[in-house]
Structure 1
Amino acid sequence: MRGDYWSWVRSTRPILLQFAFIISALFVLPRPTDATLNYRCTRNSINLGQIIDALLKDYDTHLLPEAEGVNVTIELHVQGISGISEITGDFELDIMYSEIWLDPRLSFKHLNVCTTNITLKSDFKNKIWTPDTCIINSKDSKIHSSPSENTFIILYEHGLIWSNFRLNVKAPCKMDLKMFPFDSIQCQLQFESYSFNTAEVRLLWHDIPVTMMEKVELPDFDLISWSTDHQRLEYPNGVWDRAQVKFTFARRYGFYLFQSYFPTSLTVISSWVGFFFDVRSVSARITLGVSSLLALTFQFGNVLRHLPRVSYIKCLDVWMIFSVIFIFCTLVELAIVCQLNRWERERQIGSKVLGHWLNQIRKTRSKDTRKNNGEIEGPKKRNLLKPIYQEQPPPSPTSNDSSNNILKVRNALKAPDGAAVATIVPSEEEPLHNLPSKKKKWWSRIQARLPKLSIPDMDWTITSVQVDRCSMIMFPLSFLVFNITYWCIYFTKMDRPM
């Protein structure tokens, strides 16, 4: 029994000692005061001046934090994009730019500070080593001051430095307006260390390189994508790291559909109204065509005023040029119609003169028959009429009007008694007498074959009314074919979402 007792005491001895220590601590140790309970580690509780002086003692800003080089991690927070200018070829945006690197010389963990990081003002950056990163392709950039400079630095206990700037940047964009207004624009920001090459500073993108703090809404463009890239460029004094971010914007083409394509289409269609006018309404048709052409030119100039003067042809240029051609063709058609109408009037006047001349012949022959006191037979009438027709000189084979020798003019001339008919037929055999003997055979063969080749009883005369009626069909049909071809070609070339 005695042995069991001492074994139990030895086993419970550690527990008894711990219990006795807790009881003595409760009654012997002093209680914490109210000041101790309310103590917090705040910025005012830290003597930043002593910490900074201790860290910067024997600190050399010209030396690298690490001999093998420094890795600098960068990231962007895009606050907003102000606008894109096609004239100057750039875009403007506000960003919060951060760069992070490690400098072991600034570690303050050994100083037993109650916090793991401290926030410092921008003047501290002038006292330490920095990677001197810059936006190498920017046209203009500045740090916001509203009203104080929008920068800060956070220093962590292990020497990690996080530097942040709020910048307004204007950078160039790559403008390719061949597909305007269905084009897309690419704008870039390129970051480099201005002072240190790859052996000293290496730029790396953060895991989340770009953050859009708000939705980008522009009147003319939509931000459809962004991407990051890393390059190394050779300069005369070494190789430099370059980190770049590319923003892709797609143009909103709704404005141009309603302000350029639809109005010009209506202008072209309105120029066809002249086809339904009477041929004699020349002034109205000219006014309609010229006013349509001027309206189209004004619309085209209004669009080009906001674009750079590029030498290549844009998508909208093709549309406008063909629209001008369609309206110009209506004016050409009007000129053709007017010329045909003039020829028609001349033919009508000529037929009236010929009819009046034949009437005079009939009256003359009627008087002659009455003087002879008797009726003249048909052959005698032709003999009387023959001297009148022989008064006309024979056509010269060398004259320019040799085609008139083939023309047949037949008119029925009735005597008062209605028995005789006079026929005027210019001689068709005269050209053969004037030709050489060898050519007579060829000419006779050609005359023999012409009736077989020609279509009998076919009138090839084109009138002004026929031209107008043909234009009513051909112009709308050709404009429809142009539209189908135009939209099919450019929709297949489009490299952006609809």
Structure 2
Amino acid sequence: MAGHSSHNDLRNWLICCIWIVIAASFVETAAVDKRCTRNSINLGNIIDTLLKDYDIHLLPEAEGVNVTIEMHVQGVSGISEITADFELDVMYSEIWLDPRLSFKHLNVCATNITLKSDFRSKIWNPDTCIINSKESSIHSSPSENSYIIVYENGLVWSNFRLKVKAPCKMDLKMFPFDSIQCQLVFESYSFNIDEVNLLWHDVPITMMEKVELPDFDLIGWRTDSEELHYPNGNWQRALVKFTFARRYGFYLFQSYFPTSLTVISSWVGFFFDVRSVSARITLGVSSLLALTFQFGNVLRHLPRVSYIKCLDVWMIFSVIFIFCTLVELAIVCQLNRWEREKQIGSKVLGHWLNQIRKTRKNNTSDNGDGVRKRFLLSPIHKEDNDGPSRPSPDNNLAKRSFVKAAGTVTVIPSSDEEVEMLTTKEPNWWRTVPSRIAQLCCPPDRDWSITSVQVDRCSMIMFPLSFLVFNVIYWCIYFKKMDRPM
């Protein structure tokens, strides 16, 4: 009997376990059938119930509506200096509370419902717009990228995916070390500040990916709010300002470095011979043309502004340095011409002096009494039949010999008495004061003449030194003015 009883107990235990498993499966199946899904909600009835007696012209709250906005930046397409604007793709969201859309009393299993964009035209919305945009559009790829989420307490979240082109503030005085500020201004187009108040979210801007542009880096952004007065009331504005810093590496390698080499190459002419005028002119003019071409290539991509940019200062001084090399070449050529004329004049003068000495020597040898005769350039008129001989009008001047060479006239005394007369004649003492002062300041035994070779040697030192000083002053001033991180 005892064995039979234990066998019955085991059988009853197994039967209970089977029934428990079957009951649990039935409960799980019922829970799955009652799970809240989008298809299990009759959205049509809910929307009809919410929009019954709904007036889209009335504010959700009579005291005014606080609209919270936020942005998710997907990317910046580009920045144009010519048109002074930038393009970006954003996901723009605005949130407000509309108690008339609360469906908590309908005992719906979901806490929020997602509706398509056509539902927006059936309810009140704040009519926000980007008031300063040049162009803006909602993406359609392929359908319109927008939706609305309505929560059970009446909170409405409206989202758009936009492509926006907006203006930027361009100040190119520090170009290419400048920064650019671009901003978006949000405003309710239909409602003033008493009806709609725009507020930024706690996290107003979210960068969905790192912004990388060929010419600019996004270094920061900030949000702000302001109140603007119109003739028919005050409107609330929400602003976001993006700051972009220009990448100046391109300009260092394409503008500053080549122009520096162009200026330095123009100094090679200082090492040429003074007589290589054509080669030095070709080098200077080629350097000037190359610098002008480089400058024009940079200005082609910039707007025509009336103020001087940082790069303009560099280019202008580079042109001045090359122009000064051409001026130095003109001075050297002129000095070299004067030197050649002086050498030719010295040779001609020496030849005439030798001829005069030979003539005097011959005259001395012909006269037995040893009396030196004068060497006269003009003849003395002889006595004719009518009367005694007339002295020539230039008889007194004919006592000197004149030698003309290289554009100068040299007077040579023809006798010792004439030399003595010229040396013993003294002017008034007060007339000699300036000459004496000049002799004290500039001793006559010192050679004050400047040669073309000396000018070239001085230029070899002064031009590189002055260019170095200019570089130190230029970079110190503009690095100090730079209002952006390096």
For Structure 1 versus Structure 2, the TM-score category normalised by the shorter chain is 0.7 to 0.9
C-alpha separation in 2, matches of 1:294 and 1:77: 49
TM-score, normalised via structure 2 length: 0.85
C-alpha separation in 1, matches of 2:420 and 2:451: 27
Is the 8 Å Cα contact of residues 60 and 99 (structure 2) preserved in structure 1?
A: yes
1:474: which partner in 2? 462
Displacement after TM superposition at 1:368 (Å): 2.3
- Within 5 Å, which residues of 2 pair with 1:316-327? 316-327=311-322
C-alpha separation in 2, matches of 1:291 and 1:441: 58
Any idea what the Cα deviations from partners look like across 1:130-188, whole Å, max 9, x if unmatched? 00000011010000000000000000001000000000000000000000000000000
Answering whether residue 74 of structure 2 is matched by residue 86 of structure 1, we say no
- Within 5 Å, which residues of 2 pair with 1:333-352? 333-352=328-347
| Equivalent position amino acid for 2:52 in 1 | K
SS of the counterpart of 1:263? helix
C-alpha separation in 2, matches of 1:230 and 1:408: 94
2:242: which partner in 1? 247
Answering whether residue 464 of structure 2 is matched by residue 495 of structure 1, we say no
C-alpha separation in 2, matches of 1:422 and 1:287: 59
Displacement after TM superposition at 1:358 (Å): 1.3
Query: For the structure 1 residues 430 and 186, does the alpha-carbon distance in structure 2 shift closer, same or farther, using more than 3 Å as the test?
Result: farther
- Within 5 Å, which residues of 2 pair with 1:96-111? 96-111=91-106
Query: For the structure 1 residues 245 and 371, does the alpha-carbon distance in structure 2 shift closer, same or farther, using more than 3 Å as the test?
Result: same
Query: For the structure 1 residues 365 and 202, does the alpha-carbon distance in structure 2 shift closer, same or farther, using more than 3 Å as the test?
Result: same
Is the 8 Å Cα contact of residues 147 and 158 (structure 2) preserved in structure 1?
A: yes
Displacement after TM superposition at 1:353 (Å): 1.1
C-alpha separation in 1, matches of 2:435 and 2:38: 119
Answering whether residue 62 of structure 2 is matched by residue 74 of structure 1, we say no
Is the 8 Å Cα contact of residues 196 and 240 (structure 1) preserved in structure 2?
A: yes
Answering whether residue 26 of structure 2 is matched by residue 36 of structure 1, we say no
C-alpha separation in 2, matches of 1:170 and 1:122: 23
Displacement after TM superposition at 1:362 (Å): 2.3
TM-score, normalised via structure 1 length: 0.83
1:486: which partner in 2? 474
C-alpha separation in 2, matches of 1:408 and 1:481: 52
Identity of aligned residues (%): 75
2:176: which partner in 1? 181
2:358: which partner in 1? 363
Answering whether residue 190 of structure 2 is matched by residue 195 of structure 1, we say yes
| Equivalent position amino acid for 2:276 in 1 | S
C-alpha separation in 2, matches of 1:67 and 1:214: 40
Displacement after TM superposition at 1:451 (Å): 3.6
Query: For the structure 1 residues 343 and 96, does the alpha-carbon distance in structure 2 shift closer, same or farther, using more than 3 Å as the test?
Result: same
| Equivalent position amino acid for 2:340 in 1 | R
Answering whether residue 162 of structure 2 is matched by residue 167 of structure 1, we say yes
Is the 8 Å Cα contact of residues 360 and 375 (structure 2) preserved in structure 1?
A: no
| Equivalent position amino acid for 2:223 in 1 | T
- Within 5 Å, which residues of 2 pair with 1:451-470? 451-470=439-458
Query: For the structure 1 residues 116 and 444, does the alpha-carbon distance in structure 2 shift closer, same or farther, using more than 3 Å as the test?
Result: closer
SS of the counterpart of 1:38? helix
Displacement after TM superposition at 1:360 (Å): 1.7
Is the 8 Å Cα contact of residues 77 and 88 (structure 2) preserved in structure 1?
A: yes
C-alpha separation in 2, matches of 1:424 and 1:460: 28
Answering whether residue 199 of structure 2 is matched by residue 204 of structure 1, we say yes
Displacement after TM superposition at 1:365 (Å): 2.3
Q: Gaps spanning 5+ residues in structure 1: where?
A: 1-25, 396-403, 414-419, 433-439
SS of the counterpart of 1:311? coil
Is the 8 Å Cα contact of residues 221 and 242 (structure 2) preserved in structure 1?
A: yes
Displacement after TM superposition at 1:272 (Å): 0.5
Aligned length in residues: 441
Displacement after TM superposition at 1:302 (Å): 0.3
1:54: which partner in 2? 49
C-alpha separation in 2, matches of 1:392 and 1:485: 68
Answering whether residue 301 of structure 2 is matched by residue 301 of structure 1, we say no
SS of the counterpart of 1:75? strand
Is the 8 Å Cα contact of residues 70 and 204 (structure 2) preserved in structure 1?
A: yes
Displacement after TM superposition at 1:110 (Å): 0.8
| Equivalent position amino acid for 1:63 in 2 | L
